[in-house]
Amino acid sequence: MREGAQVTQDAAGHRYEVFHTDCPARDVVDHVTSRWGVWVLISLRNSDLRFYELRDSIQGVSEKMLAQTLRALVADGLVRREVEPTTPPQVTYGLTEFGQDVGEPLTDLFDRITRRLPSRDPG
């Protein structure tokens, strides 16, 4: 296979063949670009949020789907989950450095799209 966008190396020299179904980078891309993954990363771009705040900021997401999405993004190292030992426990989510790095172009894309859309009449 010839070197190109589909084959990359990380700093430690590991090769990633992103078009191969077993590539771990592909799993992260799938989670980030999932129906709700993009919205979680964009919602967390400015501040940490508790679960219910995140759910309320992303209209249309069910609690089950939000929980699944957060679990995947936490496992990928994009989102951190902090639990305060209170009754009931308070869980806060925020972006890791990796999550901020990945979320930056998504935020840029979102901002570009919203700047170009025609104005909507509130009526």
How confident is the prediction for the chain on average, in pLDDT?
Answer: 87
Q: At 91, is the pLDDT very low, low, confident or very high (cuts 50, 70, 90)?
A: very high
CA dihedral 38, 43, 45, 48 (to 10 degrees): -130
Quick one: average pLDDT of 61-70? 97
**What percentage of residues in the chain have a pLDDT greater than 90?**
59
Quick one: average pLDDT of 37-62? 95
Whole-number Cα distances in Å, 104 to 20, 45, 84, 87, 115: 26, 8, 28, 35, 16
Quick one: average pLDDT of 7-31? 74
Position 3 scores a pLDDT of: 45
Q: At 2, is the pLDDT very low, low, confident or very high (cuts 50, 70, 90)?
A: very low
| Distance separating alpha carbons of residues 76 and 31, to the nearest angstrom | 8
